[in-house]
Amino acid sequence: MALRVGVVGGGQLARMMIAPAVELGVELRVLAEEAGMSASLAATAVGDYRDADTVLAFARDVDVVTFDHEHVPQDVLAALVDAGVAVHPGPAALRFAQDKLLMRARLQELGMPQPDWAAVSNTDELQAFIDDHGGRAVVKTPRGGYDGKGVRVVSAATEADDWFAALAEDARGGALLAEELVDFSRELAQQVARRPSGAVRAYPVVETVQRDGVCAEVIAPAPHAAERLQRVASTIGVGIADGLGVTGMLAVELFETTDERLLVNELAMRPHNSGHWSQDGAITSQFEQHLRAVLDLPLGDADPVAEWSVMVNILGGPAADSLDARFAAAMTEHPAAKVHTYGKAPRPGRKVGHVNVAGSDLDEVAYQARAAASFFVD
């Protein structure tokens, strides 16, 4: 009988696991938040991932539960584990992707390079941190941030007053995360797959380009990445995967500083936007690799199949009724481009798809990817 993987969350990451699941002969089941989501093709259930009974019922007859996002509460995860369900990544690892303060403290214990940071509980503590770091700092809400929401550069502690007020009302209490404002030359990402039995596979380190806090473009491998940089990045990635006991795909977002150091920004324990290039540019895509890893199957080769891959995100903007025509036009003009669609309504700024191009000439690959993606921009 086919192995069954249950994915909690019906977004595009779950959607992109569907094709490799079919190829692997794995039965994919998805617990979607609502009908008509990206992964609705495989949505066998619709319900609230914060409700333990809903998730337990969904998990009853799958071999492993994994995730499209990191928001499943710890008590729901604990209920799954208590019921004997295999959960990958497990709750003990996931909490470091759910809470940036826990992550910073644990990475410090592991000796990982990271920005200077502090947990700040009030404006006085934040102001002291700002004063100690040249008059500016980055403040983050530890939980629930994504795409730059929950991240603010401040030069006065009062700029985070609303977040401190929200903390005061949150029964869980807690603190905000203050970080030094890193003077980085670029952002990189290192992905690693890890099986429950411990085997790991590192992907090439990639460059990620962010616009307005959202990933716009990824170049794989990162240009001008000397062997040393690749070695340091994969050592960090594997060290974190092992140290935190991550199972499945791990993405480590990194800053490369002007003095050529790598600092860990944040972690994702699932397939990640920085790895979409691997669908058309690596021997084993991150989505297939994630399924293999959470099922504890042998991992696939993570090497690139071309010298260069470029991924360009498509953000919503055009009117919904014109999207199909735009896809057709992009595919007609750029047959080398692989257009991936998420089946989402194109609200402004929302990720609705991406384009991958792979080849031997980086300028040409980047041109093709950007030109194909430009069909979707008004």
Footprint of ligand ADP (CB under 6 A): 115, 138, 140, 145-151, 179, 181-182, 187, 210, 213, 253, 265-266
Q: Name the residue nearer to ligand ADP (CB basis): 146 or 162.
A: 146
Specify the residue, 115 or 359, whose C-beta has the smaller distance to ligand ADP.
115
Q: Which is nearer to ligand ADP, 187 or 217 (CB)?
A: 187
Nearer to ligand ADP, 20 or 150 (CB): 150
Q: How far is the CB of 145 from ligand ADP (least distance, A)?
A: 4
Q: How far is the CB of 119 from ligand ADP (least distance, A)?
A: 15
Q: CB of 196: closest distance to ligand ADP in angstroms?
A: 26
Cβ–Cβ < 8 Å for 18, 28: yes
Rounded Cα distance between 300 and 285, Å, is 9
Query: 63 vs 253, which CB is nearer to ligand ADP?
Result: 253
Concatenating the DSSP letter of every residue in 56-125 gives HHHHTT-SEEEESSS-S-HHHHHHHHHTT--BSS-HHHHHHHH-HHHHHHHHHHTT-----EEEE-SHHH
Q: How far is 289 from 340, CA to CA, in rounded Å?
A: 18
Task: Give me the least distance between CB of 254 and ligand ADP, in Å please.
Answer: 10
Rounded least distance, CB 187 to ligand ADP, Å: 6
Structural tokens at position 252: 């480590």
78 CA to centre of own chain: 23
Which tokens is 257 given?
């500083």
What is the Cβ-side half-sphere exposure of residue 367, based on CA atoms within 13 angstroms? 6
Residue 60 half-sphere exposure toward CB, CA atoms < 13 A: 6
Q: How far is the CB of 6 from ligand ADP (least distance, A)?
A: 26
State the Cα–Cα distance between residues 230 and 225, nearest whole angstrom.
6
What does the angle CA 311 – CA 146 – CA 98 come to, to the nearest 5 degrees?
115
Strand order in the sheet with 117-120: 117-120, 176-179, 137-140, 151-154
Which of 151, 291 has the CB closer to ligand ADP? 151
Least separation in angstroms between residue 178's CB and ligand ADP is 9
Most distant CA atoms of the chain, gap in Å:
62
* Complex with ligand ADP: residue 33 or 116, whichever CB lies closer: 116
Give the type of residue at 276. H
Report, in Å, the least distance between residue 378 CB and ligand ADP. Answer: 25
Cis peptide before 221 (omega within 30 of 0): yes
Nearer to ligand ADP, 81 or 182 (CB): 182
List own/partner pairs for 78-83 with CB under 8 A and 24 or more apart.
79/52, 79/55, 80/55, 80/56, 83/56, 83/59
Least distance from ligand ADP to the Cβ atom of residue 268, Å: 9
Closer CB to ligand ADP, 140 or 351, in the complex: 140
Q: Which of 258, 357, 342, 373 is nearest to 309 (CA)?
A: 357
